[in-house]
Amino acid sequence: MAETTYVRTEMLPPKPPPPTQTGVIGWLRENLFDGWKNTLLTLVALYVIYALLSAALPWFLHAVWNAESLNECREIIKASWGPEADGACFAVIRDRWHQMLYGFYPQDLYWRPNLAFVLMLVALSPVLFPNLPRKMLVFSLIYPFLGYWLLWGGTVWAPVSWALGFILGYFAFILVNDRGGTILAAIAAVVVPVLWWLFGAGPFADLVQSLIPISLADVESRQFGGFMLSVTIGITGIVGSLPLGIILALGRQSNLLMVKSLSVGFIEFIRGVPLITLLFVASTLLNIFMPPGTNFDIILRVVIMVTLFSAAYVAEVVRGGLAALPKGQYEAAAALGLDYWKSMRLVILPQALKIAIPGIVSTFIGLFKDTTLVSIIGLMDPIGLTNAIRANAEWQGIIWELYGFVALVFWIFCFSMSRYSMYLESRLETGHR
């Protein structure tokens, strides 16, 4: 037999792929000019990009940052770029950025909202990132009172005495629970703090304030504005609506007729009414219902309405998560001998909430953006402020720059929220699907 005539003694070196398959050209061929349809689409897309850039780029390049009025901006642009040139007048942002961020908050007190914002991030972080020490949660519990005190000022003992109400409620629950059972304890946990807030908290705060005066300068709600107002309403609404929404979702699945019908009624009523209607109720109807001279803080009214509104939507999203769990999970929890609350806390909710994360975060992003609706009831949120700024003779007629700035800041907030939700999903992904 002939030996292996054609066997080579050495390997051929690998040849480079043809130039049309590699590098820039290959990538272009594969992704952009792959057949006549894609080629056509690519050309159209290129034209659109070119058209957008050729309109927008000069506008940005000719931007003026230093001017006192829109007319001055125009003169500067004409002087530097010729009579036909068009350009952005970002001088308005430079002139009013603090107003867009803080509204009418006193300028020498800006450190208070700044500090409140930073502390808010600190308070949120143990909730958002579970690898941080659990002891930080204590700060998260303190923060609502601290944040209120920083933003609105006044005596520190007022928020302290409200917080005391919660502590009293907790002890009332423990004490009654030992003697009279859970239902009585739950009632006591509600009644005792309410009594305290109505009768005890005020005199207590006054008393302590007169003994140990610690207070910050008062800032009224009407001085709130800009993104500070949006964040205040948005974050309070988000923090308030999540627990409320979970409770409503559980209530909707309850076997107790009253609890179930109340939850369903609330959710369906709120979802059937537009937010702007609720805001009008907050700003005008409540004024008419309440006796004249009643001063029920407008921001508080709005926050309550926004929270209730968003809670109804969160409840439905959470219900979706609960419905997605197989029945076996509920039965398994029961078979382990867990009572209702334990089975919910340890077995059901951790799984249901994980499924519901994208929906919950969408609701929150929607809530945050909906805060701009308060401009319709006369609060000076960023959108309301753009109008107020344009009402100054020097900035009248300026549109794109202001709305662009508002859009950019909102985008930063909402994009961070959406990124966080993706992080959370990937971290909680346990491969059950």
Sequence-distant (6+) residues with CB within 8 A of 249 are 263, 314, 315, 316, 318, 319, 322
The residue ranges that bind other proteins (CB under 8 A) are 70-71, 74, 95-96, 98-99, 103-104, 107, 152, 154-155, 158, 161-162, 194, 197-199, 201-203, 205-206, 209, 218, 220, 222-223, 280, 283-284, 286-297, 300-301, 304, 375-378, 380, 384, 387-393, 396-397, 399
Quote the tokens at residue 238: 């988000």
CB of 325 to other proteins, least distance (A): 35
Distances (CA, A) of 359 to 233, 237, 239, 245, 319: 20, 16, 16, 12, 11
99 in Cβ contact with 385 (< 8 Å): yes
* Burial bucket for residue 409 (CB in 10 Å: 0-12, 13-18, 19+): middle
Q: Given phi > 0 = left and psi -120 to 50 = alpha, else beta, which region is 35? A: left
CB of 374 to other proteins, least distance (A): 11
CB of 279 to other proteins, least distance (A): 10
The smaller minimum CB distance to other proteins, of residues 180 and 378, is found at: 378
CB of 86 to other proteins, least distance (A): 10
Q: For the stretch 282-295, what's the b/e string if a residue is b when 16 or more beta carbons lie within 10 angstroms of its beta carbon?
A: bbeebeeeeeeeee
109 in Cβ contact with 219 (< 8 Å): yes
The rounded distance, in Å, linking the Cα atoms of 385 and 101 is 10
The smaller minimum CB distance to other proteins, of residues 114 and 254, is found at: 114
The smaller minimum CB distance to other proteins, of residues 44 and 290, is found at: 290
CB of 429 to other proteins, least distance (A): 40
CB of 329 to other proteins, least distance (A): 37
Q: How many CB atoms lie within 10 A of CB 65?
A: 14
367 in Cβ contact with 234 (< 8 Å): yes
Instruction: Mark out the alpha helices in 337-399 (DSSP H runs).
Output: 340-343, 349-370, 382-390
CB of 288 to other proteins, least distance (A): 6
CB of 319 to other proteins, least distance (A): 28
The smaller minimum CB distance to other proteins, of residues 29 and 390, is found at: 390
The smaller minimum CB distance to other proteins, of residues 279 and 333, is found at: 279
Nearest 5 degrees, angle CA 318-CA 324-CA 328? 120
The rounded distance, in Å, linking the Cα atoms of 312 and 246 is 9
The smaller minimum CB distance to other proteins, of residues 235 and 380, is found at: 380
The smaller minimum CB distance to other proteins, of residues 99 and 372, is found at: 99
CB of 78 to other proteins, least distance (A): 9
CB of 384 to other proteins, least distance (A): 6
Written as one string, the DSSP assignment of 17-42 is PPGGGSHHHHHHHHHTSSHHHHHHHH
The smaller minimum CB distance to other proteins, of residues 173 and 250, is found at: 173
The smaller minimum CB distance to other proteins, of residues 220 and 429, is found at: 220
The smaller minimum CB distance to other proteins, of residues 35 and 397, is found at: 397
The smaller minimum CB distance to other proteins, of residues 260 and 390, is found at: 390
The rounded distance, in Å, linking the Cα atoms of 4 and 318 is 72
Q: For the stretch 173-199, what's the b/e string if a residue is b when 16 or more beta carbons lie within 10 angstroms of its beta carbon?
A: beebbeeeeeeebeebbeebbeebbee
- Which residue type sits at 265? G
CB of 169 to other proteins, least distance (A): 12
